[in-house]
Amino acid sequence: MPIPPKPIPARDRLIFAMDVADPDAARRLADTLGDSVTFYKLGLELFMSGGYFELLDWMVGRGKQVFVDLKFFDVPATVGSAVRQLRNRGVTLTTVHGNQAMMEAAAAAKGDVKVLAVTVLTSLDRGDLDDLGFSCDVEKLVLSRARRALEAGCDGVVSSGLEAPMLRQFIDHRLLVVTPGIRPVENRPVDDQKRTVDVAQAFANGADYIVVGRPIRDAADPRAAAEAIQQTIAGVFGGRTA
């Protein structure tokens, strides 16, 4: 029997990766996108440009959900302290990219923030994992990290849509699955994403959220591109909010 989708409003299932040079550019793009996007991912590029938390507060003040994607990796005490700084700020999701102790520290400190463990970056393929010294298959590595994340108290994982069906088969269905590397049409090797799926396939495979960046940001009309994805999502979920 299929597992029913989580009660997430359909329009919130699209997370836009706000990968732009600075907060001013981010505010302009958010204004352009308007109500076509309700959920934003703020990553390292914006963090390093200055004004990150002011932008975060601005987003939250406009009723947007925010995914702080900084992939915390440090000694466990530092990871825990970093995650603790995000509490009570309106942050919905954040990421940790480390071992069991780091994930446990993040989970213990999360408060009202949901912690996602990164499994295998969607920019990596089998050859890249060989270079990094991982001898197991991508699927086995993702499954292992997802199991350990759940054991550590994390709320979910960041995982390619290619591995999502396996996660739904072998991991507790409560696990949130956030899928980046989405390409709304057939992907061509023009960027650094290698393990990709399209919008409908990501949700069919078991994703709860998708993260889309360049296909919206670089479109001639970003708002129209976001709305087209929202229409696809609405079709997948039949107009339902869950």
Catalytic residue positions, numbered: 71
Does residue 104 contact residue 77 with C-beta atoms inside 8 Å? no
DSSP structure string for 35-77? GG--EEEE-HHHHHHS-HHHHHHHHHHTT-EEEEEEEE-S-HH
